A and B are shown apart, each in its own frame.
Chain A
Amino acid sequence: MSRVHTEPLPPPADPSGSLSRGTAKRDNLKNSAGSKRRFSPRARREGLVFLALVLPNLALIGVFTYLPLLNNLYYSTLNWTLGSSNATVIGLGNYVTFFTSGDAPRVLGTTAVFTLITVGGSMVLGLLIALALNQRIRGTTFARSAVFAPYVLSGVGVGLVWLFIFDPVYGVLAWFLRGFGATSPQWINDPDLALTMVIIVYVWKNLGYCAVVYLAGLQSLPKDIMEASQLDGAGAVRAFWSVKLPLISPTTFFLLITCLLSSLQAFDLIRIMTPLGSGTSTLVYEAYLQAFGAFNRAGYSAAISVILFTILLVATVLQLRFVERKVHYS
């Protein structure tokens, strides 16, 4: 209000004139309209329209995505059986239990093996397939779609199909092995073989994604550089290692992070192929088993989820860093 007096308007000389005060106020309103534009009726209506359009989605995301993160943090400090109304706060007790019992080496070890092999396997095979698809021959479009297809199929359905193939007695694999005079290993009962089996199926299901992304990377390589390397007498192998692979390194890094994130979240195949999780208990699966398996240890499960989320967060931050650097790269 004090701003009124600094403005070069004639001050209200007549203190008793209510009429002149009224005009001064109106003038003031008119003059400051420029600085207060965001409160004009039109802007206000725009704001209301914006909120009406955005709020439903934003509220859903807030309640079912952000709120659970906070709740998980809180639950992870509780000694609490799912379904029970009693819970005692035990601070970091669940985390201490995780890292001092045998659970940490077992679960983190399984997670590391599963993640490293599935990410490495999908990316190497994906790149090889992308190279095969990146040729001027007929049928590449069809093969590209075909190799991508498993990526969009239900993990439960795919897991069942492969369980049948891996069946030690009636499976196709056992039939092939018998043809060579070998007997099928017990894929499900042996923890190490169970993990191997799930890894193979996971790679089968996901390598199409890597192949298609790598193919897009290869096709975006500048033609003149490829021709220059050909003129320099570089063979196909040399051109791959010295020219193509370094040039698609942004794609490689992108895939590394996205595949890492999705491998760390793998659930469907593990649940349907190895329900008991013997040999296949990754962080996600252990968190599920602890809360919804036999034990109903809600607080402990929440602690494992928080550990998982921390790992995912680090990977995501790495990815964002990379995206920033990519801008400078190109």
Chain B
Amino acid sequence: MSTTVTRPERALSRRNLAATVVGGYVPLILTTAVVFLPLLWMILSSMKMPNEIVTTDLAVLPAQFSLENYSAAADKVPFGQFFLNSTIVTVTGAAIKVVLALLTAYALVFVRFPFKRLIFVLILVALMVPPQVSILPNYILITGMGGRNTLWGIILPGLGTAFGTFLLRQHFLSLPASLLEAAEIDGAGHWRRLWRIVAPVSVPSIATVALVTIVSEWNEYIWPLIIVDDPRYMTLPVGLTLLRNSEGDAAWGILMAGAVMVIVPVLIIFAALQRYIVAGLTQGSVTG
């Protein structure tokens, strides 16, 4: 009896194997290659010598791995300064945004107030206002405040956080009421309840908000591009624009070195913590 069952299964599994390879692995490998090959090409090209790039006879690997493009880029523009500025803007901006999101979400869920619903809707609707639309008025406003060509001028207009507030509020609403009741009986105030109880049990959600915020601050382009034109205050994406403008087409090696500087840090963070980032960025689809 067992032979009659296993025989067709084995025949089937051989056909399955071919089907799995053609229908399963080929599309997977193809997709992964389409994603990774351009990025691999970027890294390899950034380590080639100029004569290996300005040629119609392409080789995949550089003759020898050289960091010359990186030092050449740093000679043309203040690359170290760009990297530092990007880091300062990202760390400061993201830290403030995460704290603001935590405070707002905590208040919206755990503190009694008559117009909570209205305030939540005000914050939620802001999520749907695209920053591109407010570029010109904010430029006038920040310039008037003396924020042109400053780091705080880059950071300030983006600090209000609707995304983080929304995501943390969703999470706080799912926390059991008993958790907070015990603390209330113990006489702990809101400040202590937030930092001693709510925050520690919400670390994954806070990490999600933090990571998504860090990545978007790092990549932010249109606002810093407009509010800064002094290289001393440029972030990496704006600095790369300057590099492209000043270099023309022959300097691909230098431009690839610049692209590596802006892409690889995010790629490393993503590789290590992609679970949180993917969950945060696709949040709306799960709830909606």
Q: Which of A38, A50, A152, A284 contacts B215 (CB 8 A)?
A: A152
Instruction: Report the separation of the CA atoms of residues A138 and B137 in the bound assembly, to the nearest whole angstrom.
Output: 51
B-side residues, CB < 8 A to A, are: 20, 23-25, 27-28, 31-32, 34-36, 38-39, 41-42, 45, 53-56, 58, 100-101, 103-104, 106-108, 111-114, 116, 119, 122-123, 126, 128-130, 132-141, 156-162, 165, 190, 215, 218-219, 221-222, 225-226, 236-237, 240-241, 244-245, 249, 252, 255-256, 258-260, 262-263, 266-267, 270-271, 274, 277-278, 281-282, 284-286, 288
Among A16-24, A105-113, A154-162, A227-235, the one that faces the other chain is A154-162
Among A3-11, A56-64, A116-124, A239-247, the one that faces the other chain is A56-64
As a 0/1 sequence over residues 287 to 330 of chain A, the CB contacts with chain B under 8 angstroms (1 = contact) are 11001100000100110011011001000100000010010000
Given the known A-B contacts A53-B107, A152-B266, A258-B284, are A146 and B36 also in contact in the complex, defined by CB atoms under 8 Å? yes
In the bound complex, do residue B104 and residue A284 qualify as a contact, i.e. CB atoms below 8 Å apart?
no
Interface centre among A56, A161, A287 (most CB of B within 10 A): A161
Given the known A-B contacts A53-B103, A204-B34, are A72 and B136 also in contact in the complex, defined by CB atoms under 8 Å? yes
Given the known A-B contacts A165-B38, A169-B56, are A143 and B31 also in contact in the complex, defined by CB atoms under 8 Å? yes
Distance to closest chain A CB from B89 (angstroms): 13
For this complex, 21 residue pairs linking A to B, each with C-beta atoms less than 8 Å apart, are: A49-B111, A50-B113, A53-B104, A72-B137, A128-B27, A129-B27, A154-B218, A154-B221, A156-B237, A157-B263, A164-B255, A170-B55, A175-B56, A216-B286, A265-B132, A268-B219, A272-B240, A275-B245, A288-B132, A291-B135, A323-B288
Interface centre among A255, A261, A309 (most CB of B within 10 A): A309
Instruction: Report the separation of the CA atoms of residues A287 and B55 in the bound assembly, to the nearest whole angstrom.
Output: 39
In the bound complex, do residue B128 and residue A316 qualify as a contact, i.e. CB atoms below 8 Å apart?
yes
In the bound complex, do residue A287 and residue B221 qualify as a contact, i.e. CB atoms below 8 Å apart?
no
In the bound complex, do residue A160 and residue B255 qualify as a contact, i.e. CB atoms below 8 Å apart?
yes
In the bound complex, do residue A69 and residue B133 qualify as a contact, i.e. CB atoms below 8 Å apart?
yes
Q: Which of B111, B136, B157, B258 contacts A291 (CB 8 A)?
A: B136
In the bound complex, do residue B28 and residue A54 qualify as a contact, i.e. CB atoms below 8 Å apart?
no
Q: Which of B28, B38, B244 contacts A132 (CB 8 A)?
A: B28
In the bound complex, do residue B222 and residue A132 qualify as a contact, i.e. CB atoms below 8 Å apart?
no
Contacts of B256 in A (CB 8 A): 160-161, 164
Instruction: Report the separation of the CA atoms of residues A67 and B271 in the bound assembly, to the nearest whole angstrom.
Output: 39
Distance to closest chain A CB from B153 (angstroms): 12
How many residue pairs link A and B with beta carbons under 8 A? The number is 278
Q: Which of B106, B107, B111, B134 contacts A68 (CB 8 A)?
A: B134
Q: How large is the interface on A (under 10, 10 to 19, 20 to 34, 35 or more residues)?
A: 35 or more
As a 0/1 sequence over residues 152 to 196 of chain A, the CB contacts with chain B under 8 angstroms (1 = contact) are 111111101111110101101011001000000000000000000
Q: Which of B38, B122, B141 contacts A58 (CB 8 A)?
A: B122
Q: Which of A68, A157, A264 contacts B240 (CB 8 A)?
A: A157
Interface centre among A61, A155, A174 (most CB of B within 10 A): A61
Contacts of B129 in A (CB 8 A): 65-66, 69, 309
Contacts of A226 in B (CB 8 A): none
In the bound complex, do residue A312 and residue B130 qualify as a contact, i.e. CB atoms below 8 Å apart?
yes
Distance to closest chain A CB from B95 (angstroms): 14
Contacts of B219 in A (CB 8 A): 152-156, 268
In the bound complex, do residue B136 and residue A60 qualify as a contact, i.e. CB atoms below 8 Å apart?
no
Nearest chain-B residue to A301 (Cβ)?
B136
Contacts of A140 in B (CB 8 A): 28
In the bound complex, do residue A326 and residue B278 qualify as a contact, i.e. CB atoms below 8 Å apart?
no
Contacts of B123 in A (CB 8 A): 57-58, 61
In the bound complex, do residue B35 and residue A208 qualify as a contact, i.e. CB atoms below 8 Å apart?
yes
In the A-B complex, the 3 residue pairs with the smallest Cβ-Cβ separation, listed nearest first, are A60-B160, A68-B134, A68-B137
In the bound complex, do residue B28 and residue A133 qualify as a contact, i.e. CB atoms below 8 Å apart?
yes
Distance to closest chain B CB from A223 (angstroms): 19
Contacts of B111 in A (CB 8 A): 46, 49-50, 53
Q: Say whether A151 faces chain B, with CB atoms less than 8 Å apart.
A: yes
In the bound complex, do residue B31 and residue A170 qualify as a contact, i.e. CB atoms below 8 Å apart?
no
Q: Which of A49, A213, A216, A305 contacts B133 (CB 8 A)?
A: A305
Contacts of A306 in B (CB 8 A): 133
Instruction: Report the separation of the CA atoms of residues A45 and B101 in the bound assembly, to the nearest whole angstrom.
Output: 21
A160-B256, A264-B130 are known; give 12 further A-B pairs, CB within 8 A: A49-B111, A57-B165, A60-B159, A63-B160, A64-B138, A64-B141, A66-B126, A69-B133, A151-B281, A152-B219, A160-B244, A170-B53
Given the known A-B contacts A56-B103, A152-B281, A267-B222, are A305 and B24 also in contact in the complex, defined by CB atoms under 8 Å? no
Instruction: Report the separation of the CA atoms of residues A69 and B41 in the bound assembly, to the nearest whole angstrom.
Output: 42
Interface centre among B25, B31, B156, B218 (most CB of A within 10 A): B31
